[in-house]
Amino acid sequence: MGVTIHDVAARAGVSVATASRAMSGQRGVRAENRDKVLAAARELDYEPNVVAASLRSRTTHTIGMVVPRIANPFFATLVESIEKRLHDGQRSLLLANSHYEPEVEQRQVRALLDRRVDALILIPCHRERSGEVLATAAARIPVIQLDLRVDGFASSWVGVDNEAGVWQVVRHLTERGAKRLVFVGAQPTDSAAQARLDGYRRAAGDGDDVLLGDFSKEWGQQAAKLLLQRGDLPDGIVCGNDTIALGVLGELASNDVRVPQDVLVAGFDDIPYAELSRPALTTVRQPQEQIAAEAVRILDARLADDAAAPRSTAITPELIVRAST
Amino acid sequence: MGVTIHDVAARAGVSVATASRAMSGQRGVRAENRDKVLAAARELDYEPNVVAASLRSRTTHTIGMVVPRIANPFFATLVESIEKRLHDGQRSLLLANSHYEPEVEQRQVRALLDRRVDALILIPCHRERSGEVLATAAARIPVIQLDLRVDGFASSWVGVDNEAGVWQVVRHLTERGAKRLVFVGAQPTDSAAQARLDGYRRAAGDGDDVLLGDFSKEWGQQAAKLLLQRGDLPDGIVCGNDTIALGVLGELASNDVRVPQDVLVAGFDDIPYAELSRPALTTVRQPQEQIAAEAVRILDARLADDAAAPRSTAITPELIVRAST
DNA sequence: TTGAAAGCGCTAACAA
DNA sequence: TTGTTAGCGCTTTCAA
């Protein structure tokens, strides 16, 4: 089965080399021959075998991407933005999930390397333990870190300035009159958790109050319970991300604590559901389209010029004030 | 650059054929030789070129998947479940987005076929217009439709019984005392929108009240505005999915309409955010893990036996009652 | 501008 | 159980 380039070449009355050149749009083919080849391909319903082309040309037109958790709308939106950019250029996305486990992440990256992806977009799930596999990959193909990053690894990265984002939140809550703040965040195993915690500590100053769990709504609910049990509620809750914040809001509502009257609550990321909660959630917006566009731009530069220097871009995120503060 | 199977074979002192057999775990290799090959591969840090293997063996161990919109948490969760299943078997997922546009979907499916994916998992974005590309793909490789389906296309499909789900919602609202219902759904361009609308019409009987837009929170907000403008609010709102329902809830809250005291609201899908809204949303749960598992099972059966008959599975979804009703 | 020919790295048929 | 050999379908020298 299957029409090959030989069939097309035969029908067009040229060699396979000419057929190949014509179809890949190279110059150095007489217009007349090019048209004959294209016509033959159409008539025969020719479908090029890109696997064979990849073997010979050593490029797969495929980009690998590993994210911690696709089901997280923040990452899903990022994937969607990347995918949109790539398809402008006829490339495809091989997607994998690390479940926030460095071992799984390592397996996934190796699988992508085995598949000879042209480049890798990695959201490294761990500040330290993702370093090894990142180095392995970076030694072979262009790699860019997205959103999260590995400590002290001098490779390209695109994301937001998390510290600046948290700083804005703290200042906003203070301006709204909050005197006693608490930070409900995640254990600093990934770089965003770390940077947001650092940012909070620096902005809130001494005597800061911090509860650390993970980036889940369940942790948000649990943390709110803890705060309620402690008896004296703070007057401002800075959450490590929107999912936590939504958990906090839910738990507070269940206990008849009014937001923003009794306590102010803010999140981070601006996922689509932040706007839908009641009260709508004040949060820090990550410009995902912009992050994705910049990432693909940097990758293309590396792909075009192997010696291109690593480039990092930290975008300053925007505070979105809604009813919860 | 690059260690090839020839290097491994030379080091192990066997032929490339034996090396290949040993590494792919085929029987018919003496244990002693197998160990030598495996040791040589490890020592040389051999990375098999799966592109070359694919060209020769005509199988890529890659599954293509096209979804309408990855950013929709319902689809994202489905992708994650599928990905988890596949990786048990060392296969990867080539992911593409159709943006609910049949033309884009067609391009994406063709690209996946060009890449010689072993099978295709398609969530067809249109009841009718997805038919053509589905047929093209099904003529070449095993294809399974997930969640959505094309009208009258006799191929494998896995999803939920949407009519039964809506039926449960309507009965529940009626039992809660609702007399006048309205359905806020999506134009029936995809099969779920159609089935849920049909289900509603059949369950609610004559004089049914129906507003149709798309599956977005914006449409939910707009529909709620429309209902408020009409003056006499119904006492039960059946929404086509959770995203619409969350939009409806938000708009009602902004207008001081109390849920469930003034009006009951229910959704469909049970996305993670359904539970987080206040009031928490009553909805119909789609068992995504189960859908994914069944889909991969059917695909594997087709892959193992080319003549396996198409198989469709409609899972009856479960009503999850929360505070909104 | 074109064609002949040589692989890309692997697996599978065949023969031993 | 093993090795030899012939491709998979394409791109890319190289020479004309």
Amino acid identity, residue B230?
R
Residues (47-106, chain A) with CB within 7 Å of strand D atoms: 48-49, 52-53, 55-57
The answer to whether A276 contacts B52, with C-beta atoms less than 8 Å apart, is no
The reported pLDDT for the residue numbered A27 is 86
The answer to whether B94 contacts A47, with C-beta atoms less than 8 Å apart, is no
Q: Give pLDDT tens digits for A159-170.
A: 999 999 999 999
Question: How far apart are alpha carbons A87 and A292 in whole angstroms?
Answer: 13
With beta carbons less than 8 A apart as the criterion, state whether B235 and B207 touch: no
Give the total residue count for chain A: 325
Q: Which residue is nearest to nucleotide D9 (CA to C1')?
A: A52
Smallest Cβ–Cβ distance between B250 and the set A108, A246, A278 belongs to A278
Question: How far apart are alpha carbons B184 and B187 in whole angstroms?
Answer: 10
With beta carbons less than 8 A apart as the criterion, state whether A248 and A184 touch: yes
Ordered DSSP codes for B260-319: TTT-EEE-SB--GGGTTSSSPPBEEE--HHHHHHHHHHHHHHHHH-TTPPP-EEEEPPEE
- Paired tokens of A236: 């401002």
Exposure string over B264-295, b if 16+ CB within 10 A, otherwise e? bbbbbbbbbbbbbbbbbbbbbbbbbeebbbbb
Side-chain half-sphere of B108: how many Cα atoms within 13 Å?
A: 31
Question: How far apart are alpha carbons A116 and A53 in whole angstroms?
Answer: 13
The reported pLDDT for the residue numbered B1 is 58
More confident residue, B304 or A195: A195
Nucleotides of chain C touched by protein CB (<7 A)? 1-5, 7-13
List C-alpha distances in Å: A105 to A125, A137, A223, A322, B98: 8, 12, 29, 36, 27
Q: What are phi and psi of B117, to 5 degrees?
A: -60, 150
Question: Which residues of B are less than 8 Å from A69 in CB distance?
Answer: 80
The answer to whether A51 contacts B92, with C-beta atoms less than 8 Å apart, is no
- Paired tokens of B290: 């189960």
The reported pLDDT for the residue numbered A87 is 76
Among chain A residues, CA nearest to B1 = A140
The answer to whether A50 contacts B77, with C-beta atoms less than 8 Å apart, is no
Cis upstream peptide for A260 (omega within 30°): yes
Question: How far apart are alpha carbons A325 and A146 in whole angstroms?
Answer: 30
The nearest CA of chain B is from the CA of A206 a distance in Å of: 33
Q: Give pLDDT tens digits for B289-315.
A: 999 999 999 999 999 888 888 999 999
Report the candidate in A241, A280, A117, A94 with the shortest Cα–Cα distance to residue B51. Answer: A117
With beta carbons less than 8 A apart as the criterion, state whether A79 and A70 touch: yes
With beta carbons less than 8 A apart as the criterion, state whether A149 and A124 touch: yes
Among chain A residues, CA nearest to B250 = A276
B179 touches strand D (CB under 7 A): no
Question: Which residues of A are less than 8 Å from B112 in CB distance?
Answer: 92
The reported pLDDT for the residue numbered A89 is 63
- Mean pLDDT in residue range B241-264: 94
Distance, CA of A175 to C1' of D10, in Å: 66
Which residue do the tokens 């086509």 mark? B240
The reported pLDDT for the residue numbered B154 is 82
Ordered DSSP codes for A3-72: --HHHHHHHHTS-HHHHHHHHTT-SSS-HHHHHHHHHHHHHHT----HHHHHHHHS--SEEEEEES-TTS
Nucleotides of chain D touched by protein CB (<7 A)? 1-5, 7-13
Question: How far apart are alpha carbons B299 and A84 in whole angstroms?
Answer: 28
Exposure string over A74-103, b if 16+ CB within 10 A, otherwise e? bbbbbbbbbbebbbeeebbbbbbbbebebe
Kindly compute the dihedral angle of the four CA atoms of residues A132, A144, A65, A87, in this order, to the nearest 10 degrees: -160
The nearest CA of chain A is from the CA of B32 a distance in Å of: 27
Question: How far apart are alpha carbons B278 and B271 in whole angstroms?
Answer: 14
**Three-state DSSP class for B155?**
coil
β-sheet bridge partners, residue A143: A120
> How would you write A155-174 as a 3-class SS string?
CEEEEECHHHHHHHHHHHHH
Return the closest nucleotide (C1') to the Cα of A34: C1
Distance, CA of B4 to C1' of D2, in Å: 20
Q: Give pLDDT tens digits for A203-257.
A: 998 667 999 999 999 999 999 999 999 988 999 999 999 999 999 999 999 899 9
The reported pLDDT for the residue numbered A297 is 94
Mean of per-residue pLDDT scores for chain B: 94
Amino acid identity, residue B25?
G
Strand A283-285 and strand A318-320: the pairing is antiparallel
Residue A1 scores a pLDDT above 70 = no
Return the closest nucleotide (C1') to the Cα of A31: C1
Mean of per-residue pLDDT scores for chain A: 94
Question: How far apart are alpha carbons A239 and A251 in whole angstroms?
Answer: 14
Question: Which residues of B are less than 8 Å from A97 in CB distance?
Answer: 80, 83-84
- Mean pLDDT in residue range B242-258: 94
Q: Give pLDDT tens digits for B184-208.
A: 999 999 999 999 999 999 999 866 7
Cis upstream peptide for A279 (omega within 30°): yes
Residues (39-98, chain B) with CB within 7 Å of strand D atoms: 52, 55-56
β-sheet bridge partners, residue A266: A238, A282
Q: Cβ contacts of residue A269 below 8 Å, gap of 6+?
A: A74, A241, A242, A243, A283, A284, A285, A286
Report the candidate in A279, A263, A280, A262 with the shortest Cα–Cα distance to residue A271. Answer: A280
**Helix, strand, coil shares of chain A as percentages rounded to 5?**
45, 15, 35
Q: What percent of chain A has pLDDT over 70?
A: 98
- Mean pLDDT in residue range B9-26: 94
Question: Which residues of B are less than 8 Å from A250 in CB distance?
Answer: 275-276, 278, 280
Smallest Cβ–Cβ distance between A52 and the set B55, B79, B83 belongs to B55
The reported pLDDT for the residue numbered B57 is 93
Which residue do the tokens 């609702």 mark? B178
Question: How far apart are alpha carbons A140 and A133 in whole angstroms?
Answer: 11
Strand B156-160 and strand B312-315: the pairing is parallel
Distance, CA of B25 to C1' of C15, in Å: 23
Strand C-proximal protein residues, Cβ less than 7 Å: A 14-18, 21, 27-30, 32-33, 52, 55-56; B 2, 4-6, 16-17, 20, 23-24, 46, 48-49, 52-53, 55-57
Q: What percent of chain A has pLDDT over 90?
A: 86
Helices and strands in chain B: count of H runs, count of E runs: 12, 12
- Paired tokens of A26: 């190279």
β-sheet bridge partners, residue B10: none
The answer to whether A95 contacts B95, with C-beta atoms less than 8 Å apart, is yes
Q: Which residue is nearest to nucleotide D13 (CA to C1')?
A: A17
Question: How far apart are alpha carbons B145 and A19 in whole angstroms?
Answer: 37
- Paired tokens of B182: 């309205």
Question: How far apart are alpha carbons A148 and A157 in whole angstroms?
Answer: 8
A2 touches strand D (CB under 7 A): yes
- Tell me the Ramachandran region of residue A21: left when phi exceeds 0, alpha when psi lies from -120 to 50, beta otherwise: alpha
- Paired tokens of A158: 């695109």
Q: Give pLDDT tens digits for A88-147.
A: 668 999 999 999 999 999 999 999 999 999 999 999 999 999 999 999 999 999 999 999
Q: Give pLDDT tens digits for B32-82.
A: 999 999 999 999 999 999 999 999 999 999 999 999 999 888 999 999 999
Report the candidate in B44, B51, B165 with the shortest Cα–Cα distance to residue B116. Answer: B51
The reported pLDDT for the residue numbered B83 is 93
Report the candidate in A11, A5, A10, A14 with the shortest Cα–Cα distance to residue A33. Answer: A14
